[in-house]
Structure 1
Amino acid sequence: MDELDATHTGGTVRNLDVGDSPPSEAVVLAVADARGCDPLDLPPLNGALDPDALDSLFGDRVSGRARTGGRVTFEYADCTVTVTGTRDVFVDATD
């Protein structure tokens, strides 16, 4: 994932668009990167929210056009994570 120049909450900002990966997978990868650990060392994402719902919320519309609005913030693996409709994920990994 490419680090962005913007900041959100003082944490680490990561680009959500990781090829064909769904948003739920991108969140796990971004949190692992921000925490400096292997993604497999993180708890399951479904303990924080429904990964399928996250993927549906930020997936393409039925027409195939990308969604560009919306935002969801949640706690995951001792981080505050914000996913936006502009395909960004913000990870605040401050302890």
Structure 2
Amino acid sequence: MSEDDLSGQSVSVYELATDESPSQQVIELVGEKSETALVPDANTGPEQTLPPLHSVVDPDALDALVGSGADSPTGTRVEFFYHGYTVTVCTDRPTPIIRLQPQSRPTEPCRSASASD
């Protein structure tokens, strides 16, 4: 994951490996960045966990559309809002990426991001 600190706000960029589900990675990354539990446990109740991803996007459709292998259509860009972040999933690079940025910040083209870290 790499981070750009433009305008005082962090943009996280994550490259998807061929065996990773884009929808699962979105959930894990947003949970990590927002410091929000993914599921309730003894210390957190349902109101303190991430909302279901399917409340904003169909996870199966996201995985099918974006994929992370050779069958993935090049140039696909899916953008949605989830738990305080603008999530952008792009396939306009050799390796698909997920960008997370706070919702208050305007989105940037995927090609302008550095995902080398």
Normalising to structure 2: TM-score of the pair?
A: 0.62
Residue 65 of structure 1 is matched in structure 2 by: 70
Residue 88 of structure 1 is matched in structure 2 by: 97
Residue 79 to residue 56, structure 1, CA distance change in 2 (3 Å):
same
Gaps (5+ residues) in structure 2? 40-48, 105-117
Which piece of structure 1 moves more, 39-48 or 12-21? 12-21
Residue 22 of structure 2 is matched in structure 1 by: 23
CA distance in 1, matches of 2:24, 2:55: 14
Gaps (5+ residues) in structure 1? none
- The structure 1 segments of at least 4 consecutive aligned residues displaced by more than 4 Å after TM superposition are 5-10
Residue 21 to residue 14, structure 1, CA distance change in 2 (3 Å):
same
The answer on 1:54 being equivalent to 2:58 is no
Give the SS at the match of 1:43. coil
1:11-38 Cα distance to aligned partner (Å, 9 max, x none): 4313142562311001111111211222
The answer on 1:79 being equivalent to 2:109 is no
The answer on 1:32 being equivalent to 2:38 is no
1:51-79 Cα distance to aligned partner (Å, 9 max, x none): 0000001115xxx6242321111011121
Identity level (%):
31
